[in-house]
A and B are shown apart, each in its own frame.
Chain A
Amino acid sequence: MKIFANNIMKKYINKIVLDKISVEFEKGSTTCIIGPNGAGKTTLLRILNMLEEPDRGEVIYDGGSSRISRFALQRRMTMVMQNSVMFNASVFNNIAYGLRVRGENEINVKVESVVKVLELTEFIDKSALNLSGGEIQRVAIARALVLEPEVLLLDEPTTHLDSWSKRLIQNAILSLQSRCKTTIILATYDIAEIERFEGRVFYLEAGKVTEKWKEYDFTKGSKKKSVVCCEYFES
């Protein structure tokens, strides 16, 4: 699905979180959004996922076809939150949740397949409330990947995780993308992760875009471009 965020503005009380931001996400593309805490990355993802309305501007999905309902559009996307929370149910039922609400078939097969990829087999019957932080994040990723969404919004999905878990999650996401041509929009400040995903990188700073959106193309990879990003974070 192609998404165009057109002149988006969002304000909380007196603070402008997003100020007239326009950006396009092509179908099947990967976009990394970087920026410091409070830059508005999460708010932008929430607006794209229709969890929040912008105060001004609009988000156009697939060129704005009026025949598709808001709910149907929302079901074509899914978002993994920064601090994922689990339903008071088993790991299996947490992963199967999205499939069940969609009334899909072969739930067991689909869940088992994603569980294997994310190495969650030993936890499958355990209560999801008793998992560690890393395990919770893997279940949250599994819960999203099992739906094979057209758009996957990821809000710092591997923050605070060990490198083994990070690698596992990144592999699973990249595998989904190559299989389903999923549009991936990733908010992160992990340079290694940005390089792993090899997509466009957008630079977002608190309140408003202080300069024109910077775009780095890691696919054509020049070390210099990576350094620009690193320098930004170090400063």
Chain B
Amino acid sequence: MTQIFQNAIQLVFSFDKEVIEIALLSIRVSLTAAFVSSLVAIPVAMVIAMNDFPGKSAILLFINSFLSIPAVAIGLILYLMFTRQGLFGFLRLLYTPGAMIVAQAILVFPIITSLTIAAIDGIRKSLIDTAVTLGANSWQLTWTIFKEARYPMMASFIMGFSRIIGETGMTMMVGGNIKGSTRVMTTAIALQTMRGEFELGIALAIILLVVSLILNLFLQFLQGVGVRR
């Protein structure tokens, strides 16, 4: 067992080409998914949080219930959509990083949306009134709220990213875990474990833990900045 760990650590510090490739693909796919999802989720969350309209509670309930949707269910639906006979089969996305990005973006959407809504709700009403009484128009007010909620919004991005970079089942279903193409850290760890070849799996697990640790440290820093208000 000690030998396996020693070999795994050696793999990490020798900057093994396969390990680096898998780690970089993981980060690239999850970062792109979180970014694409944020581009939609943040404006949607701002519209929901800043306006009162009929059905708002129902929309919030809908978004919150999607927080607990099993990732494999999203994977299954997307798999059926992306197969040749599926609705989006013509896109030829199945078993490509693109399919993994789409799946992860969908999975992270309710997370970023609900956390952004909470972040905007956290801005005191008096701060919004202050901006209005100082003469801000609706666009300037929106920009002010965006700036005020920037740290909690960044935290929601990081939390979403942390969630999807550790996702396995869904990513494997739509990505296929193809070596050199769609093999990411989690799917590689699962495969290596099933094969009984633990060195590469442990090396990737170490990298995944380090990424997770760095993200959480950054998240704590952002929360600290936000608390000063």
Inter-chain CA distance A78–B131, complex, in Å, is: 10
Instruction: Identify the interface centre among A71, A97, A101, A147: most chain B CB within 10 Å of its CB.
Output: A101
B127 touches A85 (CB 8 A): yes
Q: Is A113 an interface residue (CB 8 A)?
A: no
Interface check A188, CB cutoff 8 A = no
Question: Is A78 touching B137 in the complex (CB atoms < 8 A)?
Answer: no
- Chain B interface mostly helix, strand, loop or mixed? helix
Chain B 109-153, CB-CB to A under 8 Å as 1, else 0, gives: 000000000000000101101111111110010001001100000
Q: What separation, in Å, do the CA atoms of A71 and B137 have in the docked complex? A: 8
A83 to B125, CA, bound (A): 12
Interface size class of B (residues with CB under 8 A): 10 to 19
Q: Which residues of B contact A78 (CB under 8 A)?
A: 133-135
Tell me if A121 is interfacial: C-beta within 8 Å of chain B: no
Whether B229 and A101, one on each chain, are in contact in the complex, defined by CB atoms closer than 8 angstroms, is no
19 A-B pairs besides A77-B133, A101-B135, A101-B137 with CB distance below 8 A are A49-B133, A51-B132, A74-B135, A75-B135, A78-B135, A79-B129, A79-B133, A81-B126, A81-B129, A81-B130, A85-B126, A87-B144, A87-B148, A88-B147, A97-B131, A127-B228, A143-B134, A144-B134, A147-B134
B interface residues, Cβ below 8 angstroms from A: 124, 126-127, 129-137, 140, 144, 147-148, 228-229
Residues of A within 8 A of B (CB): 46, 49, 51, 71, 74-75, 77-79, 81, 83-85, 87-89, 97-98, 101-102, 127, 129-130, 143-144, 147
